[in-house]
Amino acid sequence: MLPEFTDRVRQGCAVVEVRGEVDLGSARILGRHLLLVLTRQAPATILDLSGLVFLDCAGLRVLRSASRQAAAHGGSLILAAPRPIVVKLLRLTGSDQHLAIFPTVAEAVAAHRTRPGAGGRPRADPTRCPGQGFHPARRGGPACPVSDIP
């Protein structure tokens, strides 16, 4: 199943809804699409991952690369609403330490809108765990029990 995308703008942020699966065979499709979106110069690109049912390490490399590209141009890449299986991959690989992750698109937009200045990575609340509908704890924050990860 190839990934599908829907792009929209929400309060000045580019929001890309990703649906389907991103694996070795389709990671390039995601990469090309993100490159097109990132070149639009929006201060933030939010990836709505609520429809993403599978992500492997190839897709994860694309996300980390896109995050670096956004930061290099003064913007940010923010992940929103990842499913538990995606949260697990982000946590196991330590990518949760490098990517901004929020439980909903609305919270990602709000975090971007309320932080001073443009660019950089929005900070998320490190006390909420994946089992509570949020991303893994940030380095230095309270640890989430392993049982909270599906």
Question: Which CATH number covers residue 69?
Answer: 3.30.750.24
Within a domain: 140? no
Task: Give the pLDDT score at 73.
Answer: 87
Tell whether the model's pLDDT for residue 111 goes beyond 70.
yes
Long-range CB contact pairs, 135-142, < 8 A, 24+: 135/79, 135/82, 135/87, 135/90, 135/91, 135/96, 135/101, 135/102, 135/103, 136/87, 136/90, 136/91, 136/96, 136/101, 138/96, 138/97, 139/97
What's the CA dihedral at 47, 103, 55, 32 to 10 degrees?
A: 10
Element (H, E) at 19: strand 13-22
Indicate the pTM of the whole model. Answer: 0.77
Task: Give the pLDDT score at 43.
Answer: 85
Within a domain: 142? no
Tell whether the model's pLDDT for residue 84 goes beyond 90.
yes
Within a domain: 44? yes
CA distance 30 to 127: 30
User: Could you give the number of structural domains in the chain?
Assistant: 1
Q: What is the CA radius of gyration of the chain?
A: 14
User: 68: Cβ–Cβ under 8 A, 6 or more apart, which residues?
Assistant: none
Task: Give the pLDDT score at 112.
Answer: 85
pLDDT category of residue 143 using cuts at 50, 70 and 90: very low
Q: Which whole number is the average pLDDT over 3-14?
A: 94
Quickly tell me which residue has 């490098």 as its tokens. 98
Within a domain: 79? yes
CA distance 82 to 71: 21
Within a domain: 141? no
- In Å, how far from its chain's centre is CA 90? 10
Which is more confidently placed, 29 or 121? 29
pLDDT category of residue 113 using cuts at 50, 70 and 90: confident
pLDDT category of residue 3 using cuts at 50, 70 and 90: very high
Task: Give the pLDDT score at 115.
Answer: 60
CA distance 76 to 45: 6
Within a domain: 147? no
The whole domain housing 79 covers: 4-124
Q: Which whole number is the average pLDDT over 42-58?
A: 95
Tell whether the model's pLDDT for residue 64 goes beyond 90.
yes
